[in-house]
Chain A
Amino acid sequence: MSKKSASVWTSIPFWRRSAAWVTGVATVLLIWLTFDTMGQISMGSDEDLKNGITKRIPAASVINYHIDYQFDDKRGHEVPVIGEKETFFGKEWSAEEAAKLLHLGKLTSQAKNCMNCHTLLGNGAYYAPDLTKAWLDPKWNDGTMTGITGKASKEEAMAEFLMHPSQYPTHARMMPNLGITKEEAVALVAFLKHMSAIDTNGFPRNFSQSAKRLEGGTHAH
Chain B
Amino acid sequence: MWEACTDVACGNLFAWLNQGPLTLTIFLHTVVVIPMFFIYFQEKKRLEEGGE
Contacts and interface: CB of A to CB of B under 8 A. Distances in A.
Interface of A: 1, 3-8, 11, 13-14, 17-18, 21-22, 25, 29, 33, 36, 40, 54-56, 72, 74-75, 199
5 contacts: A17-B39, A22-B32, A36-B12, A54-B8, A56-B8
A142 B50 CA distance: 83
A1 B40 contact: no
Given A6-B48, A56-B8, A72-B6, A21 B43 contact: no
Given A4-B47, A36-B12, A72-B6, A14 B32 contact: no
A4 B50 contact: yes
State the 4 A-B residue pairs at the shortest beta-carbon distance, nearest first.
A6-B47, A74-B6, A14-B43, A3-B48
A55 B7 CA distance: 11
A11 B47 contact: yes
A36 B11 CA distance: 12
Q: How large is the interface on B (under 10, 10 to 19, 20 to 34, 35 or more residues)?
A: 20 to 34
A8 B43 contact: yes
B43 A40 contact: no
Interface of B: 4, 6-9, 12, 14, 28, 31-32, 35-36, 39-40, 43-44, 46-50, 52
State the main secondary structure of chain B at its contact with A.
helix
Contacts of B6: 72, 74-75
Contacts of A54: 8
A55 B8 contact: yes
A11 B43 contact: yes
B49 A56 contact: no
B40 A8 contact: yes
Contacts of B31: 25
Contact of B50 (A1, A8, A29, A74): A1
A172 B43 CA distance: 70
A6 B44 contact: yes
A18 B48 contact: no
Given A14-B40, A29-B28, 12 more contacts: A1-B49, A1-B50, A3-B48, A4-B50, A6-B47, A8-B44, A13-B46, A25-B31, A36-B12, A54-B8, A72-B6, A75-B7
B7 to A, nearest CB: 8
A10 to B, nearest CB: 10
B49 A40 contact: no
Nearest to A73: B6
A40 B9 contact: yes
Given A54-B8, A199-B8, A36 B35 contact: no
